[in-house]
Amino acid sequence: MVYNEVAFSRRTLLGVGAALGATAALGHLGARPAWATDDYEYVRERFRADLVGSRTVDPDDPAVAAIVAGYDDACDERLDQFSPSSQGVFADLNITGTSSSAPVSASFTGLRSMAYAFAVPGGRYTGSSELADQIVTGLQTMNDLVYNVDQPEYDNWWTWEIGSTGRIIEILTMCHEVVPADLRAALCDAMAHFVPDPGFNYPPDSPRRVVSSGANRINLCRAVILEGILMRRPDRIELGIETFLPALEVSDTGNGLLSDGSFVQHNQVAYTGAYGCSYLNGASSLVSLMPQTPWEMADSQVAALLRSIDDAYTPLVFNGQLAASLRGRAVSYPSSSDSGDGQVILSSALRLARQADPETAARWRGLCLGWIERSRHYDIRASAALPLLALIEEAEALAPPIQPQPIESRTFPGMDRVVHQRPGWSANVAIGSTRINKFEVMNRENRTAWHHGDGFLGLYLENEEVAQFDDNFWPTVDPYRIPGTTVDSQPRPILNGGGLDSMLGFSPMVGGCVVGGEPNPPAQRGTHAIWTARERNWRSSMEATLSWFFLDDGIVALGSGINAPIVERVSAFGDAYVRGGTYADNNYSTAGYLPVRKSSSASYTRETYFQFSLADLPARIRSATLYFNADVDDSGGTEMDVEVHAVDGEWVENTITWNNRPPTGERLATVHVVEEPRWHAVEMTEHVRELLAAGDTLSVVLLEDPPDGTGLNVKVRGRTSSTSTAPYLEIELDEPTPDTYPIETILENRKVPGDDVPAWSVDGVPVSGSDVPGWRDAIVGTTAHLPGTAGYLMLDGERTFDLTCDERTGDWHRIREREDDTPIIRTYQTAWLDHGRMPTDASFAYHLLPRISAQDLADLAESPSAVVVANEADRQAVAAPGQGYFAAAFHAAGEVRHGRQSIRAEAPCTVATLGEPGAGGSFEISVADPARDADVVEVQVSLPPGLPLRVTRADDTIDLSISNGVAHLTVRTAETYGRSQRILFTADV
């Protein structure tokens, strides 16, 4: 159980229950109960109700009893380790004997488990005085040892400011009557010490102090507000609310909720799950606590939070499961799951339904009950914590119409995600850009996430008995074969952390547009979509153009321009600079920054030398490029030309001086350096080939030769300045090496029941033995079919399907270091296309058809519903005539045609059209600038012939003219943030 899934108390049933009943429009509760004369006690008791129950819970109900038994078991687990001492509260959590702060918050988590058992109704520990004494002893021990006003933060700031504060608040609320007032005050004072202002992370005197944002801001505010409630400190409550309300506002970029429904944390990680769920849970809880108190928030102040249910959260949930691609590194936590985050969204939606207008509230409740009804992989109602169970029962009692599975496409350009839902299935695609990370690794978590953002296509199916991406998927799946991705299969290092910038994508050209249905801007909602990306794997030379086209019956995936040159990166083994005049005999080989300057004074003239060994390279290479990082650092100007010359002779790093430097050879290139640090590339293929033939070392010198004889100081970063800015030579080899690995497109990697493994069929013929773990084969065909999952129809002719049935063994420790290495076994059916070890302009085109039968797949192979119109590196297009759909991704200016339809773009963009109007019909055009680097995009789209069309809806960014049956659109895309710009035509009758 996660996210405060705690139980209900008897006192709540009798006291606060009435206040949590049915609400009026906009959610303001009925009259406060007679006992609630004190504002602080009223809010505290309502928060206790939010933690441990409402009036609808019957402790004698078998379902409730089962949940309560779970809390008792969790308490037993902690009591087995309960041993207060000078080292901590629990024997397995040594606080003082480690530099890690993790045992601090973990100890409060253990005490919270004990508090739950104390507070729930009908349990073995409910109201136990012995357990109460143990909880108090544990809190006192923590206060004495580490969590007090004299303790400075160490290790992870989160432990002190969020992890511990949240747990303390909950313990003190559930055990308010039994915790002595002085201990309660001491712990609250400690919280105020660690969180003096929720607008910031880190202590006031820390050089790392930064403005808080997103989920972190919400959790900090929650701690401060509820600390103020517990201690009757109005100034802390007001500070918390003043800081909380701006966090509910949406923006177009940055952290937290974005206006298009995206949720971003750490500035560049897609995080609707985990952090986004923590944000929603905390915010919905605080908003629901304050009505009818002096701290009540106005409807206008919480409107964006209410809207987020429709725009940001529920579109990403399929029958109670949140898309795994939105949970960041939390996929490496055994305690976290798609279903767990789905429950947070479900409970928050039901909670906020009390704040919504009646129509919206009924729709949200009907949507949640629909998830519960359709879920097959687990029983949401039976697995719910007691507070959620009460909300479900409240929704059932109100009997709203059950909402069916939505038929829609949603794009989230703010976090580089797209989701497509149809009856019985949902799919989402995740791919990184220069704005959003491919993956997140931090704190030795998510350590094999290399390909999570390389086009991961998460397919969710109704009627699956086991949740696909829960149930130990992540520790057991082959991390090199994440479904939907196109990958360089070379072995990768286990990751532990590092700068998030190093995990960003390769290109800004990632995004797409939606078309069809009723727009709901700034949210991006339609019935169909297109998504495209210029892709390069992390630390790989493989590049490809990828696009996905989202249709009624499935998804067409295209890949083109798949190139994987073999690139060797050679670091400099020597560098130094030399200086003339009175310094001509000095050696300068230890500097991290190497100057280049021509001066009228010989003593101020400097030249920089690099040398690279070519000994390990093959004799034949395709290209060679020198890269170095430099900037102008001179008060006399901001730009300067630097010449790169060959060196005719040998030199030694620690002995070279101006006087003994070798002769300068031919000029290889001139680069223009400016005041901003930039990488500079020098093409030197022929020169390196000559050196390879002669068996020589590459040696170059950087110098200035200005016309007037006086230059500017240029600062070049040397090999000891930083590994991220050190000079290097990039060699593209002419042929594969023995350790070159193939490039693969992963059609599927499905976790299947180990006792009922489905068998593959290819072109309608069952493949014998393919349901036996250990089986593998490569079979030529046009279709592959995995019963219960999907069919895969190749749209580019026969291909070789590489197929395997594997029983894989993994463990959580491999992907999250702090977890144990207990072996876990799961069975997988995997299919992929092998593009070879060094492909040039390879491609693929397939139609993914979820839940299709073998016979329907065979029929569709005879008459495909989708047609590939273009599949080139600079343009990709698909038409689905039966659906009136035609869409294209342009990575350069160009045109695509299908029959009488044509789309032309004058710059990179995506264009989608939908509709074949007869009388009263409609035709829509949607345009987006995924790269976000154009102020204006011009497109021309042929209009359907026949009846005259009139514009019935258009975004104000679009200027339209029509001539000769072609719509000429000028779309002002500046500051549209990659969103769809749409225009709708209706045929006059």
What tens digit of pLDDT does each residue of 665-704 get?
Answer: 999 999 999 999 999 999 999 999 999 999 999 999 999 9
Instruction: Supply 824's token pair.
Output: 């876990």
411-566+739-858 maps to which CATH number? 2.70.98.10
* Phi, psi angle pair for 391, to nearest 5°: -65, -40
Q: How far apart are CA 829 and CA 750, in angstroms?
A: 5
Instruction: Supply 561's token pair.
Output: 């321009």
* Phi, psi angle pair for 691, to nearest 5°: -65, -40
| pLDDT in the model for residue 846 | 98
Residues of the chain with pLDDT under 50: 1-28, 55
Residue appearing with tokens 């409740």: 365
> Helices 129-145 and 181-194 sit at what angle, rounded to 10 degrees?
40
Residue appearing with tokens 């992929």: 832
Among the listed residues 652, 360, 411, the one whose alpha carbon sits nearest the alpha carbon of residue 526: 411
Q: Residue 848 in contact with residue 860, Cβ under 8 Å?
A: no
Instruction: Supply 340's token pair.
Output: 């767990």
DSSP 3-state of 160: helix
> Helices 275-289 and 214-231 sit at what angle, rounded to 10 degrees?
30
> E strands within 344-499?
408-412, 417-422, 425-431, 454-461, 486-488
Q: How far apart are CA 532 and CA 597, in angstroms?
A: 46
867-987 maps to which CATH number? 2.60.220.10
Sign of the C-alpha dihedral computed for residues 649, 653, 655 and 658 taken in this order: positive
Residue appearing with tokens 């479904």: 483
| CB atoms near residue 739 (< 10 Å) | 9
Q: How far apart are CA 230 and CA 237, in angstroms?
A: 10
Q: How far apart are CA 847 and CA 857, in angstroms?
A: 10
| pLDDT in the model for residue 949 | 87
What tens digit of pLDDT does each residue of 35-84 get?
Answer: 888 999 999 999 998 898 754 567 888 888 888 999 999 999 999 999 99
| pLDDT in the model for residue 56 | 52
Q: What is the 8-class DSSP label of residue 152?
A: P
Instruction: Supply 966's token pair.
Output: 């072609």
Q: How far apart are CA 810 and CA 612, in angstroms?
A: 42
| pLDDT in the model for residue 722 | 78
Q: How far apart are CA 834 and CA 557, in angstroms?
A: 16
Q: Residue 144 in contact with residue 87, Cβ under 8 Å?
A: no
Q: Which residues contact 50 (CB under 8 A, 6 or more apart)?
A: 4, 285, 288, 289, 387
* Phi, psi angle pair for 805, to nearest 5°: -115, 120
DSSP 3-state of 611: strand
For the chain, how long is the longest CA-to-CA vector? Answer: 96
Residue type, position 824, single letter: I
Rounded-to-5 percentages of helix, strand, coil across the chain: 30, 30, 40
| pLDDT in the model for residue 738 | 78
Q: Alpha carbon of 38 to those of 17, 53, 293, 294, 465: distances in Å?
A: 17, 21, 9, 11, 50
| pLDDT in the model for residue 57 | 63
| pLDDT in the model for residue 501 | 67
| pLDDT in the model for residue 384 | 84
Q: Residue 847 in contact with residue 782, Cβ under 8 Å?
A: no
Chain centroid to Cα 889, Å, comes to 23
Q: How far apart are CA 787 and CA 766, in angstroms?
A: 11
| pLDDT in the model for residue 918 | 66
Among the listed residues 616, 608, 623, 538, the one whose alpha carbon sits nearest the alpha carbon of residue 571: 616
pTM, whole model, 2 decimals? 0.86
- Domain coordinates in residue numbering, the chain: 411-566+739-858, 567-733, 867-987
Q: Kindly report the CATH class assigned to 567-733.
A: mainly beta
Q: How far apart are CA 769 and CA 753, in angstroms?
A: 16
| pLDDT in the model for residue 23 | 28
Residues recognised as catalytic: 266, 275, 329
Q: Distance from first CA to last CA of the chain, Å, rounded?
A: 58
